[in-house]
Amino acid sequence: MSVDMSGKNVIVTGAGGGIGRATCIKLAESGANLVLVDRDKALADETKKAVDALGVSSLVVVADVTSEEDVKNYVERAVAEFGKIDGFFNNAGIEGRVQLMHELSYADWKKVIDVNLNGVFLGMRYVVPVMRRQKSGAIVCTGSIASFLGLPTTIGYNAAKHAVAGIVRTVATEEARNGIRVNGVAPGFINTRMFQDIAHVLLPEVADKHKAAETAGSSAPIGRLGQPEEVANVVRFLLSDEASLMVGAMVAVDGGVTATATTAD
C-alpha cells in the first residue's frame, strides 16, 4: 500500500537518529513537510539533508523536550512555517541507567521520567490546541514493549513507557470527537543506538555493542533484531489518513515479543 502524505506538515521529536530519523525519511518519501526537533543540532541537520534530498520542505528546531518554553517554541515555529500541524510524532526519549531499582538514584529516576513522560505530556499539551482549532490532526507517541511488560533493570524507563500508554488512551478518548486521532507504537528490540547501549550493559560478555543487540534481538519469536525503518512504516501509516479508524491503539512493533509468554530458543 502506498501512503500519500503530500502537503501534510509533521513535527517529529527526536528527529536526529534511530526511529526518529527513519520516520522522517519515510514521511518525506510520502511527501510530508517536516519540523525536525532534536536537542542535537548536528544530528538534526543530517536528517534535514536526507529529507530535503527527497524534495520536501523542512525546518530544524533545537529543543529540550523537558523545557516548556522550548516545546512552545517548536510548536509556534511549526505553525509560523507551515500554517498548520497535520501530524505529530511525539518520539524523543532516553533509556536512562540500566540498574536494579534499589540501586538507582532519585536523580537518575527523575531524568528519565522528565524526558520520557513529561516531554511527551508537554508536546501533547501544546500541539493538541493547534489541532483543535484545525479540527483535525494525528498524533503518534513512542511507547515500548516496556509499556506492557516489566523489564528488569529499567524501572524508570518502564514506568514512563507504561504512563505513555495511559496518555495515549486518555487523550485519544478526549479528542477523537474533535477530529484528532491519537495512537502509540511500542517498539521491541530495534537496532538503534539506545538499544545497543542497553544490550551491551545486559550482555557484558559480548564486546561489540551491535553484536550484543543482535544477540538480544534474536530472542524475539521472529528470531532477529528489528530495524528502525520497520517501526517508521507503522508510524507513517498511523499518521496518515489510511489509519482513519485507529484511535487509542498501542501498536506493538516487536517481532512477537509481547504476543507470547516465552521467546524462541
Q: Answer yes or no: do 69 and 98 share one domain.
A: yes
d(CA 182, CA 259): 23
Cell representation of residue 180:
484528532
More confident residue, 182 or 211: 182
Clarify whether residues 183 and 194 are in a common domain.
no
- Cβ neighbours around 182 below 10 Å, total: 29
Beta strands in the chain (DSSP E): 9-13, 33-38, 58-62, 87-90, 137-142, 180-187, 250-253
SS3 36: strand
Lowest mean pLDDT of 92-106, 117-131, 185-199, name the range. Answer: 185-199
Same structural domain, 184 and 213: no
Residue 62: what are its φ and ψ, rounded to 5°?
Answer: -80, 125
Residue 170, domain member (yes or no): yes
Same domain as 125, residue 204: no
- Enter the C-alpha cell of residue 235: 508510524
Task: Give the pLDDT of residue 263.
Answer: 46
Does a structural domain hold residue 55?
Answer: yes
* pLDDT at residue 252 tops 90: yes
Do 115 and 219 belong together in one domain?
no
Q: How far is CA 161 from CA 2, 45, 60, 241, in A?
A: 30, 28, 26, 26
Q: Which residue has the higher pLDDT, 59 or 198?
A: 59
pTM listed for this prediction:
0.93
Q: Which domain holds residue 22?
A: 9-188+226-254
Residue 259 lies in a domain: no
Q: Are residues 19 and 110 in the same domain?
A: yes
In a shared domain, residues 220 and 232: no
Question: Do 105 and 212 fall within a single domain?
Answer: no
CATH code at position 29: 3.40.50.720
> What is the pLDDT, as a whole number, of residue 219?
80
Q: Is the pLDDT at 171 greater than 60, yes or no?
A: yes
Domains held by the chain: number: 2
Is 111 exposed, middle or buried (CB count within 10 Å of its CB: 0-12, 13-18, 19+)?
Answer: middle
Q: Is the pLDDT of residue 162 over 60?
A: yes
Instruction: Give 115-178 as a DSSP string.
Output: IIIIHHHHHHHHHHHHHHHHT-EEEEEE--GGGTS--TTBHHHHHHHHHHHHHHHHHHHHHGGG
- Say yes or no: 64 and 165 in one domain: yes
Question: By mean pLDDT, which of 42-51, 121-130, 217-226 is the weakest?
Answer: 217-226
Is residue 67 in some structural domain? yes
pLDDT tens for 196-230 read: 666 655 656 656 666 766 766 778 898 988 999 99
pLDDT exceeding 70 applies to what percent of the chain? 89
* CA neighbor of 236 nearest in space, from 18, 58, 20, 14: 20
Question: Catalytic residue numbers?
Answer: 157
The answer to whether position 263 is within a domain reads no
Same domain, 209 and 239: no
* Model pLDDT, residue 106: 96
| Mean pLDDT estimate for the chain | 92
pLDDT score of 265 more than 50 = no
- Write the pLDDT tens digit of every residue in 77-99: 999 999 999 999 999 999 888 88
109 and 90 in a common domain: yes
Q: Are residues 65 and 167 in the same domain?
A: yes
Dump pLDDT digits (tens) for 8-42. Answer: 999 999 999 899 999 999 999 999 999 999 999 99
165 grid coordinates: 500508554
Torsion angle of the four alpha carbons 104, 105, 111, 114, in this order, in degrees rounded to the nearest 10: 90
> Is 4 domain-assigned?
no
What is the torsional sign of CA 29, 217, 196, 62? positive
